[in-house]
Amino acid sequence: MRIGIFLDQWRDGGVPVFLDRLERQLTDCGHKVFLILADPFPKREALAKELYLAIKSRLKERCISLDLNSYPKEWKKSHFRHAILSLDLDCLLINQFYNHLSLLKKISSEISLVSILHTDSDYYYYEFLQMMGSCSAYIAVSKEIERKCLALSSPDEAHKIHHIPYGIVSETNFDPEPKGVLQIIYSARMDQLQKRCQDLIPIWNGYCQRGGSGTLTIMGAGQAEKLLAEGFRESIATGRVLMKGHLSSEDALAVMAKGDVLLNISNFEGLPQVVLEGASLGLFPLLSDIPSGHREIIETLGRGTLCHLGDHMAFVNELLKIESNLSLIRSQRAANRSATLKQYSLPDCCEKYLKVFQQASTVPRKKPVLNPYKSSLKERIQHAGLRIKYKRHFGSL
């Protein structure tokens, strides 16, 4: 199949991580996959630029930036349509497309669209409701997201909703018998709104005050990074807290493999891949009790603990309990890994996506007629001005 993956911008986060894995798996299975970006990366974000250059280097001509913000309004519509439909795709998988709803609706009669709801948040439900009737299929990454979509959908749309959990790859970093003190791992974007990362400070302080002797390793970058570094200043100085910043996927998994507990305290999630990655490496999931993702993972694996959202002392108590039973926790690593890889296999996930794509591609569509856009002199002048502004941020990308 010829498959397109549309995303507004390339950046750090769980959505690009999954799309990168999905593209690799689909390509390995012999399919032609294109990554199509509205714009290359968020402005003034050095890390996002670095990640974009890496994916562009790997995919080469299969990574296409439409540079939409460099086009005047009407020309933008034509450029978007022509660029996507000229690829002769069997279907287009659309992700984080809030700002491009009208453009996607315009081509929905000419190409099969499949949308993914990645997170249990209003943003994704708004996308879902706005594209209802325009997509051939909708993918919910968690049972809770599927439940809400079914509640929001009309009966004639319900059959288009598919629950497909993320899949993860089997890493070779697995350490069956780590030694030493309790190793607590936290890996997430440094963001308080969703990830609630500032809660790490009172949780850690409470744990230490109650006699906890373990270490905390924090991976991730973001706005709250400096705040956390200041809050953990003394523990960083003694070596009990390590702040690694952003790491490549391979390096992050290597660090995670030495851990005992995967801590996730988010306000909301979809199906957090970092929790699946941690469980696949044998770590014990200690998670906030939120409707989507966390409960599903623990119920599926039959291992892990949920604490009430924002209840710092509950997390402290659970960490101390795990520390007192560390030998038992470590003895269960292999079983936890096996169960996770069985339930959240990337090849199985890819196979389910392909079935949805194949079904979506059979929906009758209008044959597109692609004529070059006839821009006016005024539009060409506007385009030239917009290109100058665009290049200030994105250079010659």
Distances (CA, A) of 221 to 95, 137, 227: 22, 34, 12
- pLDDT-derived band at 70, boundaries 50, 70, 90: very high
> What residues form DSSP beta bridges with 36?
6, 64
The Cα 14–Cα 278 span in angstroms is: 14
pLDDT of residue 207 exceeding 70, the answer is: yes
Distances (CA, A) of 391 to 39, 40, 173: 12, 12, 41
The predicted model gives 363-380 an average pLDDT of 90
The predicted model gives 237-263 an average pLDDT of 95
- pLDDT-derived band at 397, boundaries 50, 70, 90: low
- pLDDT-derived band at 273, boundaries 50, 70, 90: very high
Same fold, 2-167+346-394 and 183-343: yes
pLDDT of residue 197 exceeding 60, the answer is: yes
Q: Residue 128: CB partners within 8 Å, gap ≥ 6?
A: 115, 117, 138, 149, 152
The Cα 395–Cα 107 span in angstroms is: 30
> What proportion of the chain, given as a percentage, has pLDDT over 90?
89
pLDDT of residue 235 exceeding 90, the answer is: yes
Q: Please give the pLDDT value at position 60.
A: 96
The predicted model gives 388-394 an average pLDDT of 84
- CATH, range 183-343: 3.40.50.2000
CB of 219 closer than 8 Å to CB of 244: yes
> What proportion of the chain, given as a percentage, has pLDDT over 70?
99
Q: Which of 14-23, 95-104, 167-176 has the lowest mean pLDDT?
A: 167-176
Query: Domain 2-167+346-394, what fold?
Result: Rossmann fold (3.40.50)
Sequence ranges of the domains in the chain:
2-167+346-394, 183-343
pLDDT of residue 396 exceeding 70, the answer is: no
The predicted model gives 275-282 an average pLDDT of 96
pLDDT of residue 19 exceeding 80, the answer is: yes
Q: Please give the pLDDT value at position 171.
A: 75
Higher pLDDT, 396 or 204: 204
pLDDT of residue 124 exceeding 90, the answer is: yes
Going across the sheet that includes 305-307, the strands are 241-245, 215-219, 183-187, 261-264, 284-288, 305-307
